Amino acid sequence: MNDYLYEYDDPYKLLAHHIVSSSRPADVIRCLTDNSYLKSLIIKEVRLQDFCGNFLDCIIENILDDKDRMEYMHKLDELAVYYYTKLDKGRLRDEILAVLNNSGIEI
């Protein structure tokens, strides 16, 4: 486990605060209980990424010009699934619960 000097250096604490502060209570509950919901959030986020750079701009433009958008989205989904497998869901959920408890929020 990483030792973080400050709480705001811990990415799981930051993510938990973001989820609690920007999500509806029903969505916070889903984050706590529904793995497929977490996976769908990561897929959406990966699909919205702007992968930019000299090479990537050229390659992605060609992919989209060649009408390979569906294959490109499928590959992004595969990347998102990889990210999902790296997510420590238990740690995230513990951090969400800590934010809720420390804030006096009952859902």
Q: pTM to 2 decimals?
A: 0.86
55 occurs within a structural domain: yes
107 occurs within a structural domain: no
Structural domain of residue 29, as residue ranges? 7-102
pLDDT tens figures, 17-55: 999 999 999 999 999 999 999 999 999 999 999 989 999
1 occurs within a structural domain: no
84 occurs within a structural domain: yes
Of 102, 85, 92, 106, the C-alpha closest to 31 is: 92
20 occurs within a structural domain: yes
pLDDT band at residue 4 using 50, 70 and 90 as cut-offs:
low
pLDDT, average across residues 69-87: 96
* Three-class secondary structure assignment of the chain: CCCCCCHHHCHHHHHHHHHHHHCCHHHHHHHHHCHHHHHHHHHHHHHCCCCCCHHHHHHHHHHHHCCCHHHHHHHHHHHHHHHHHHCCHHHHHHHHHHHHHHHCCCC
Our count of domains for the chain comes to 1
Percent above pLDDT 70 for the chain? 93
63 occurs within a structural domain: yes
79 occurs within a structural domain: yes
